Amino acid sequence: MILKSGVNKSRAWKKLERHCKKMKKLHMRELFEKDNNRASKFSIQLESLLFDYSKNRITEKTMAYLIDLAKSRGLEDKIKAMFSGERINITENRAVLHTALRNRANTPVYVDGENVMVKINEVLAKMRKFSEAVRFGEFKGHTGKKLTNIVNIGIGGSDLGPKMAVEALKKYKAKDINTYFISNIDGTACAEVLNKIDPETTLFIVASKTFTTVETLTNAKTCRKWLVDALGEHAVSKHFVALSTNTQKVKEFGIDPENMFEFWDFVGGRYSMWSAIGLSIAIAVGMDNFEKMLDGAYAMDMHFLHTDFAHNIPVILALLGIWNSNFFGLRSNALVPYDQYLSLIPAYMQQLEMESNGKFVSMGNDFIKYNTGTVLFGGPGTDVQHSFFQMLHQGTTPIPVDFIIPAISHNEIGEHHEILVSNVLAQGEALMRGKTVKEAAAELAAKGKSKEEVNFLKKFKSFPGNNPSNTIVFKKIDPYALGMLVAMYEHKVFVQGVIWDIDSFDQFGVELGKEMATNILPELQGNAAEGRHDSSTSALIGYIRRLRK
């Protein structure tokens, strides 16, 4: 039977709760000592990607119970429903088909009887034609110059994906193309980019699914004015393109629909970098590389769709997250890529996870009584070892970590990469093993510390260990590996949403603040009488108005 809500009341959940009580008494050190095969037992390889999850507080029984939980939620059918275009985003009555965008086998995918692959392929072809024309200097600016500054104007899902991917694939970028991203409504974001570029050689890409987002439209208007002031109104068609689902609004903004790259409401914002939203990626690294990224994601999609749960990377990744959060009560996760090119991956995944699964109403329309999405934060290693890692090692609550590391660097200089790799491996081992008070005391004594010093310092120098981590290794950061990696996390988020019984594809939570900002704006400008606010908000409006006078 598939439970509609109240997953925490299910038999599978209760079994895990009882099992967890026993597991809480075990230290991972003991689990490793008892079983030499633990690493191979708890790791999965897909092509060059190795997912090692052995450093979790699990046994074979844990995994069997977790898989039972997934099955009891009807996960297999839900996965099929997503891939086949069912309207699984129930609050917005939409299909969820980012997988169709990278359906490299081109098998038909139907929404309301229409094979969406036809229009997906048309847009991919249009992206290829345009990105190549820009890259090879055939599509020129108004004054005949090559367009070498590409400015993506978008926010949230229309910014984070392209920005992250362009950074991750920097090594593949055309040397003469500079890519910029303007997202924040803060005028500084616009000003800082406009200060660096020349209108004659700039292409603005206005990326907005709805074409109604205030930040994007405000930034786009500012950039349009800047361009028109320099080159005149006739220049717009050579310097502005739009990526959107909303042709009407694109027209109203003053961009010719000929210069629009379409996508559709079955593509969620935070799942959209595979669509026309990826145009800046295609221009920066070339359409062949963009398609290799789609190929990598497709390989992960096929693995997710066709592999039994026990060997299915996104499924296991998701279940471990639920195990750590719902059963051990660990409410945050760190994501730490040991690769400078992946420095924006944590911000990207933060939106993916927290916007998708930060929900409190179930698919059955009830308020949920168990924890759903967890906090995700992170940054590139080794930098973050010198900031938040202290808390991972000696805080009062463990924080599960995902470590991501390519075996080979794009910049093999001296020993840099080996030092980097030794650090990531050491962190995982240290977080798992820890150091007992006894071990700390012995070390201090061996260093010649006095008995008093040893007694005083031994607890400070001890580490509890038993902190879960996953390690994801692949050969090298290339477009294909990036595609695999992102698709892996997308599916993880989906699986967790299914188990928590939430709609992972809406984001109503971002709306309340937006509405209130619309009301506050005229009050701040002195164009409207002050509305009804709490005393703190009123006082803040007053104080800022006084400072701005």
Q: Which residues are designated catalytic?
A: 355, 386, 514
Residue 205, beta-bridge partner list: 152, 241
Report if residue 346 touches ligand G6Q, rule: CB under 6 A: no
How far apart are CB 213 and ligand G6Q at their closest, in Å?
A: 3
Subset of 188-247 contacting ligand G6Q (CB under 6 A): 208-210, 213, 216
Report if residue 148 touches ligand G6Q, rule: CB under 6 A: no
121/444 Cα distance (integer angstroms)? 65
Q: Would strands 202-207 and 178-182 be described as parallel, antiparallel, or unpaired?
A: unpaired
The answer to whether the peptide bond before residue 107 is cis (omega within 30 degrees of 0) is no
φ/ψ of residue 62, rounded to 5:
-55, -50
Closest-by-Cβ residue to ligand G6Q is 156
Q: Would strands 375-378 and 332-337 be described as parallel, antiparallel, or unpaired?
A: parallel
Tell me which of 85, 156, 373, 434 binds ligand G6Q, using CB under 6 A.
156
132/318 Cα distance (integer angstroms)? 39
Amino acid at 421: V
How far apart are CB 392 and ligand G6Q at their closest, in Å?
A: 29
The CA-atom distances, in angstroms, between 118 and each of 5, 61, 103, 190 are: 37, 46, 12, 37
Tell me which of 85, 269, 406, 465 binds ligand G6Q, using CB under 6 A.
269
Cβ-based nearer residue to ligand G6Q, 16 or 182 = 182
Subset of 277-296 contacting ligand G6Q (CB under 6 A): none
Report if residue 161 touches ligand G6Q, rule: CB under 6 A: no
Tokens of 238: 């050579």
Span near ligand G6Q by CB under 6 A; candidates 43-51, 153-161, 193-201, 472-480: 153-161
Report if residue 89 touches ligand G6Q, rule: CB under 6 A: no
Tell me which of 155, 279, 484, 486 binds ligand G6Q, using CB under 6 A.
155
Report if residue 268 touches ligand G6Q, rule: CB under 6 A: yes
Cβ-based nearer residue to ligand G6Q, 304 or 348 = 348
The 3-class secondary structure across 69-105, one letter per residue, is HHHHCCHHHHHHHHHCCCCCECCCCECCCHHHHCCCC
Query: DSSP for 478-503?
Result: -HHHHHHHHHHHHHHHHHHHHHHT--
User: Would you say the C-alpha torsion 229, 231, 232, 233 has a positive or negative sign?
Assistant: negative
How far apart are CB 380 and ligand G6Q at their closest, in Å?
A: 23
Cβ-based nearer residue to ligand G6Q, 509 or 526 = 509
Report if residue 324 touches ligand G6Q, rule: CB under 6 A: no
Tell me which of 89, 417, 507, 523 binds ligand G6Q, using CB under 6 A.
507
Cβ-based nearer residue to ligand G6Q, 167 or 355 = 355
How far apart are CB 216 and ligand G6Q at their closest, in Å?
A: 5
DSSP 8-class letter at 327: I
How far apart are CB 212 and ligand G6Q at their closest, in Å?
A: 7
How far apart are CB 209 and ligand G6Q at their closest, in Å?
A: 4
Residue 544 is inside which H or E element, if any?
Answer: helix 535-548
Query: Which residues contribute to the site for ligand G6Q (CB under 6 A)?
Result: 155-158, 208-210, 213, 216, 268-270, 355, 507
